[in-house]
Amino acid sequence: MDEFDIERAKKEMQPWNWWGIPTFFKCPWDEDPANCDIALVGVPHSSGNGSTERDQHLAPRAIRNTSGWYRRAHQHYGIVPWDIARINDLGDAPLPEAMVNDISVEHIEAYFKTLDAAGTRPVSVGGDHAITGPILKAIAGAGAKTTGGEKTALLHFDAHRDDYQHIPHWLGSRRSAAHWAHYTVVEDHVDPERSVQLGMRGNPIKPREDVNHSILGYKLITADDFFSIGIEKTVQIIRDRVGYAPLYITFDLDVLDPTEAPAVANLEPLHRGLRAWECLQIFHGLRGMNIIGADIVCMIPTKDTAANITSMTAMAIMFEFIALIADYLNSR
C-alpha cells in the first residue's frame, strides 16, 4: 500500500462518470472567469415563465450529472476542446431572490458582466428563457468587452418567438421568457437585421396575418419553412445574414420534436419539430463563425424519461456549442 500513487490513481479515474464531483463534462471547477476562455455556467432560474411548470431551475444539476459520461473529442472537427481552450465550470449564477423574476434578471446580468469583463465566452444552461435577455445585455452592445461595443447577431432556436412587445407583463414579469427577444433589440444589444429566429410552430394565442413577418426585423424561418427549404439553404441564410458579426446562440429545447425532448416547458405536440440530427447539421454549418456565447433553456428534469433522453440531448447540444467556440478561438 505504501507504493500506491493516489494522484496518479485520481487521473486514471477521471474518464469515469460515476467517480468524483459532478461538473459539466467533468471539467475543472473554478469560479474565477479570468481563468478560462469558455465558461460553463448554470443559471437555475424558473420564475420567468409562470404559465408552465417551475422545475427548469433543476436543469443545470441534471446536465452536470448526465454530461460526465460523454466523450470529449469532437470527431467532425478533429479536436478535443479542452486541449485547445481553457474551459472551466464556474458553477451557478447566484439568485438569492429566485422566486422574483425581474430581480433575478438583474442579478443574472450583474453576474454575466463579470464574465464579460474577464473576456470569457459563456455557454450556459438554464433555467427558463428569461435568462437570455440579461446575458445578452451583459455581453453585447455599448460598453461590452465581448463584442467590442457592437450589438450581437442572434440565432434563436425556438418553437415560439418570445418577442411580445404588445403585452406589458407576463403574469407580473416584465422581463419574462416571453419578452427578452423584444427588449434586447429596442435596448440596442441585439441587431435584428443580422439575426434569425428558427423553428417556430404550433398555434398562437391569436392568429397572425403573416407568420414570417417580424415588426422588430428578425428573419423568421418557421418549422414549416425549414422543412421546405432544408438544412443547406437554412445554413446559407444564417451565414449570409450574420456575416462577420459576433453571434450568440440561444436554444430552447421545445424547438425539437417532443419525441426527442419530452421534458421541456411549452411543448408543441402534433406539429412537427426539428430533429436533433438536423440541428447538429446546422451547428456544423456554423463552423468558423464568431460565436460569443450560447445557452440551452427550458428543460424540466422532473418530466424526463427514465433514460434521461432530454438531459442527454441538451448535454450533447451544449458540447456542440463548446466545440464551435473552442474551434473558432483556436483558428484565430
Question: 127-173 pLDDT, tens per residue?
Answer: 999 999 999 999 999 999 999 999 999 999 999 998 987 777 776 67
Does residue 273 register a pLDDT over 90? yes
Task: Note the pLDDT of residue 169.
Answer: 74
Q: For 274, phi and psi rounded to 5 degrees?
A: -65, 150
158/201 Cα distance (integer angstroms): 9
Map out the domains of the chain as residue ranges.
29-331
Q: Is residue 1's pLDDT more than 60? A: no
Strand bridging mode 196-198 / 87-92: unpaired
pLDDT of residue 18: 86
Side-chain-side CA neighbours of residue 57 (13 Å): 16
Question: Which of 48-57, 78-87, 181-190, 246-255 comes out lowest in average pLDDT?
Answer: 48-57
Query: Could you tell me the pLDDT band of residue 238, with boundaries at 50, 70 and 90?
Result: very high
Residue whose C-alpha cell is 425532448 = 261
DSSP H helices in 19-93: 59-67, 81-84
- 58-87: average pLDDT: 96
* Residue-level pLDDT at 231: 98
Flag whether pLDDT at 29 surpasses 90: yes
- Residue 300's pLDDT is what? 96
Query: For the residues 311-332, what does the mean pLDDT come to?
Result: 97
Superfamily of domain 29-331: Ureohydrolase domain (3.40.800.10)
* Residue 330: per-residue pLDDT: 97
pLDDT of residue 165: 77
* Chain segment 82-119, per-residue pLDDT in tens: 999 999 999 999 999 998 999 999 999 999 999 999 99
Question: Which has the closest alpha carbon to 250: 293, 199, 307?
Answer: 293
Q: Which residues contact 279 (CB under 8 A, 6 or more apart)?
A: 157, 251, 255, 256, 317
Least confident segment among 2-6, 160-164, 275-279: 2-6
Which set of grid coordinates corresponds to residue 227?
A: 422543412
What's the whole-model pTM score?
0.96
To the nearest whole number, what is the mean pLDDT of the chain? 94
Mean pLDDT throughout 248-257?
98
